[in-house]
Structure 1
Amino acid sequence: MTNAPRFLGLAGSLRQNSYNFQLLEALKTIGQGKVELELYTNLPNIPLFNEDLKPIENRPKSVIDLCAQIEAVDGLVIATPEYCQSVPGVLKNVLDWISISKALDEKPVAILGGTTGIWGTRYAQASLRHTLVSIGSHTMQRPMVFVNDIRNQLPHGDQPIAPELGQRLTAFADGMQKWAALHK
């Protein structure tokens, strides 16, 4: 067992077989030894944000559990798709819930994302960085990983991960390791 920092991985998509969840799975494999990555799978059970539920005794159990998972790790990594040049509503919703807790206060957060189009989530990641700064997290600035044409870069069947994406994820895992150490 290594002393690798522990991260929770959150994919900002509800889609079954989400490309961004697969991107986190690839990062988990490639980053072994550098970071430990646990993948969050309960996103469909996070209800819509309702400020009437802001007092902790009124918050849904799924939200309390997610915040506890974030607090228990060294950092969070978010893989976001890009919808209409921004983050998906489901990701913004979960961040609204997290923002009323202390789970991301000064917590290291890394961002990456992929899309089937040509832009590779540039706008979504910029929007996400802005939101995370307002929540008080320490958002990793680089390396940035924007994956375009993601369906042809991820491993599937007998096809391995695209070599360039593998190299970028290796550098990203290195960055996560350094970022967590810097903000320990």
Structure 2
Amino acid sequence: MSVRILALVGSLRAGSHNRQLAEAAVKHAPANAAVEVFEGLADVPFYNEDIDVEGSVPAAAARLREAAGEADAFLLFSPEYNGTMPAVLKNAIDWLSRPYGAGALTGKQVAVVGTAFGQFGGVWAQDDARKSVGIAGGAVLEDVKLSIPGSVTRFAETHPADDAEVVASLTEVIRRVAEQPVAAA
């Protein structure tokens, strides 16, 4: 049986290198894992407890929670915006953290990876995402990391799925996420 890994991409841009990295994860996932990219983060409203009411949760947020509930583990792809993770990724984490102590992330393995233009590949953003998702209840794989620097030049003419070094590293990340999924609490 394959481990179901839900990928959340923190960039909404059509040509996003993080989106391409997520596509590479889908394409090159090892046989024991199935990676699915969640579509629709742009439609999820900002988290607000006033609208997070049973029976009237916005449809886009409900779809996110449903997809996350069906996942065994998560792979977050984060670019770096002004030294931290993008709002769309933080918002997804906020929605998935509720209800408090029993959200869709609770007890499930999470790895955070990504690429960014800068020389460190977005490590600050990825560290912030790890912190946030850990507080939200995810079982963060702190030692499973992949930060690819210089995305604009590195992927100018090559899709991440066609970069042998990236594929090898990404496949190892997915293997580690799928290795021992934690049972949800």
TM-score higher than 0.5: yes
Q: Distance in 1 between matches of 2:86 and 2:131?
A: 15
Q: 1:12 to 1:179 in 2, by over 3 A?
A: farther
* Offset from partner CA, 1:139-181 (integer Å, 9 cap, x none): 112231001112444595699632221221121122111142x
Separation of aligned partners in 2, 1:159 and 1:24: 9
Counterpart in the other structure of 2:74: 76
**Correspondence 1:61 to 2:62:** no
Residue in 2 that maps onto 1:33:
31
1:113 alignment partner, SS class = strand
Rate the CA distance shift 1:154–1:170 in 2: closer, same or farther, 3 A: farther
- Alignment length (residue pairs): 180
**2:10 and 2:76 in contact (8 A); partners too:** yes
1-structure distance, mates of 2:169, 2:45: 34
RMSD value over aligned CA atoms? Answer: 2.0
Deviation at 1:125, TM superposition (A): 1.0
Instruction: Assess, with a 3 A threshold, how the Cα gap between structure 1 residues 158 and 17 changes in structure 2: closer, same or farther.
Output: closer
Match of 2:119 in 1: 118
Distance 2:54 2:172 in 1: 38
C-alpha spacing 1:57/1:160, structure 2 compared with 1 (3 Å): closer
5+ residue gaps in structure 2?
none
Counting only pairs closer than 5 Å after superposition, residues 33-182 of structure 1 correspond to structure 2 as 33-101=31-99, 102-154=103-155, 161-180=162-181
Alignment TM-score, normalising by the size of structure 1: 0.89
Structure 1's 152 and 48: CA in aligned 2 closer, same or farther, altered over 3 A? same
What TM-score comes out, normalization by structure 2 length? 0.89
For structure 1, the 5+ residue unaligned runs are none
Q: Report the Cα offset of residue 121 of structure 1.
A: 1.2
Matched-pair identity in %: 27
